[in-house]
Amino acid sequence: MYRNKLKVITGLSFFILLGVAAAHAPFQKERNLKVLPKDISDQKLDSIMETYNIALGVKCEFCHAKVKGFADSLDYASDAEPMKEEARKMMRMVIDINKNNFWYNKNTQPEYLKTVTCRHCHRGEAFPPEY
């Protein structure tokens, strides 16, 4: 009888601990951030990416590679799409322009400055028009 109670208590404890671990384990999407701060919130990252979509008139797959075997899924961490590195170069350029040419509150991260944005040159086009 003691063994049966011990088995039941051990089994219940295991499932309770498993449930608690699953409930408290945060799901972190794999990230591959090389320009934006690594501690950026999902909400802030999504907001920035959406502004890029609008400024360039593109969708996410313009810079992000598709998951092999899944037509509608993107691998946001992958560097397989060459345009992603071009986008990083453009991000660095815009950050540099804002940080080195305009006054800003030093408590604000330069990556979040919006004095000059992608839209200034791209004007809703994937590739800026030649002037």
Q: What is the pLDDT of residues 71-105, one digit of tens each?
A: 889 999 999 999 999 999 999 999 999 999 999 99
pTM of the model: 0.74
Q: What is the pLDDT of residues 110-119, one digit of tens each?
A: 999 999 999 9
> pLDDT: is 128 or 17 the higher one?
128
pLDDT-based confidence at residue 130 (cuts at 50, 70, 90): confident
Fill in the DSSP letter of residue 131. Answer: -
- Mean pLDDT in residue range 23-49: 83
Mean pLDDT (the chain) is 87
For the chain, the straight-line distance linking the first and the last C-alpha, in angstroms and rounded, comes to 87
Q: Which residues contact 59 (CB under 8 A, 6 or more apart)?
A: 53
pLDDT at 21: 55
What is the DSSP annotation of 35-94?
SS-TT--HHHHHHHHHHHHHHHT--GGGTSEEPTT-TT-EETT---SHHHHHHHHHHHHH
